[in-house]
Amino acid sequence: MDLSDIIRSSVSTLLAGFDGSHDIHHIDRVVSNVGRLATREGVTGREKLILIAAAYLHDVDDHKYGGDGRLTNARNVLAKVKDFFSLEEQETILRIIEGVGFTAEKNRGASLKPVDSLTGIVQDADRLDAIGAHGIARCFLFGGARNRSLGGCVEHFHEKLLLLKDMMKTPSGRQEAQQRHLFLVKFLSELDREAGKADTLLVERGGYDITPKDNQSGLDLSRPPSTRQLKVFNVPLLPATAENLEGYGLPVTDFSSAGCAITPWPVSGWRSLVPGTGDEGGFVEDVFTSERRGGVQYSCNVGLGRRYIIGWYGDDPSLAKNDIEPTQEELQFILTHVRHENVRVAFYLSYANIISNAPLPPLHSTIS
């Protein structure tokens, strides 16, 4: 047996009495997350081995399952593999485990204090499994094991899960957390919709305060415009290939490694660019969301806090309603021109079929 097999076997035995939210499958996912984040953060060699060991052991002394606060189980497992790790490395593993927990960090406000890079990677790897689809499943597994009601489980979203996105420590962890966080928000929005609660856009959940803005277009895009305000044109859709995007941008396959250089905006006409300006804007990374409500297609720029209608189903946009399913299958898009001085935007499609030949697009889709 290799090192991972020895540690995993011991951990599996220790977690045998835990409920499904903290079982060996959760550990396997965290270990996988650690491996991915470590690679993206440039951690290799012995340090990566330390991270993997800490990931395997991070829950064996969890206080929720009777941990004694002294990491006794973790120490016992490390004793079985003492030939693999020096004493200093074992102490590093234990220090990482001590720093992973959410409750202690929240209580002492440690999210505002520096965290060493190795602990940050294991923290992020564990927290990624607490949000998104697996996070939702684990929340209800944990609640069910403790006889919590549906409402009690949902409350845990607000007590913890919706906070995790802003507690991530690594750039790659923050990037992954954005998508998983949005999945939580969409799930809560769907719960409200099925329960007949107020019709709120998904981005209004989880701390976002989105208000209608006119998008600098001269139209109020918080409501479907009438055909008196718009001219309708049939515009062909083209695939986003390098050839079709030439002069406007380029497709990328790996957002984390894609460059986005800040350069002065091209200037034409009589107005000259002041020397030394035009490239000082900096970077902002956030998400766009798209959501269909009945016959209306919405979009939200979460980074700017703007929400607007981008399209509708049917010939007359004034007839499109949030609470009425469309009878026509063709989506009409509103095209507006917005000039951003000195801005370059990189889009990564996290939902590949936002525009497709399907009769209707999914209720939710995301661009980040």
Structural domain boundaries in the chain: 3-194, 199-368
**Of the segments 51-60, 182-191, 347-356, which one has the largest average pLDDT value?**
51-60
pLDDT over 60 at 12, yes or no: yes
According to the model, what pLDDT value does residue 26 have?
A: 97
According to the model, what pLDDT value does residue 206 have?
A: 43
Q: What is the mean pLDDT of residues 133-158?
A: 95
Residue 113: strand pairing partners: none
Q: What is the mean pLDDT of residues 132-136?
A: 96
According to the model, what pLDDT value does residue 345 have?
A: 46
According to the model, what pLDDT value does residue 131 have?
A: 96
Count the helices and strands in the chain (H runs, E runs): 10, 6
pLDDT over 50 at 154, yes or no: yes
pLDDT band per the 50, 70, 90 thresholds, residue 192: confident
**Average pLDDT value over all residues in the chain:** 77
Query: How far is 349 from 346, CA to CA, in rounded Å?
Result: 10
pLDDT over 60 at 43, yes or no: yes
| Selection from 177, 217, 189, 179 nearest residue 292 by Cα | 189
Q: What is the mean pLDDT of residues 159-174?
A: 91
Find the range with the poorest average confidence among 79-83, 276-280, 315-319: 276-280
Query: How far is 189 from 4, CA to CA, in rounded Å?
Result: 40
Find the range with the poorest average confidence among 172-181, 242-251, 277-286: 277-286
According to the model, what pLDDT value does residue 229 have?
A: 52
CATH of 3-194, one of 1.10.3210.50, 3.90.1150.200, 3.40.50.720, 3.50.50.60: 1.10.3210.50
According to the model, what pLDDT value does residue 266 have?
A: 66
According to the model, what pLDDT value does residue 280 have?
A: 63
Query: How far is 65 from 68, CA to CA, in rounded Å?
Result: 9
CB 238 within 8 A of CB 244: yes
pLDDT band per the 50, 70, 90 thresholds, residue 200: very low
HSE of 177, CA atoms in CB hemisphere, 13 A: 24
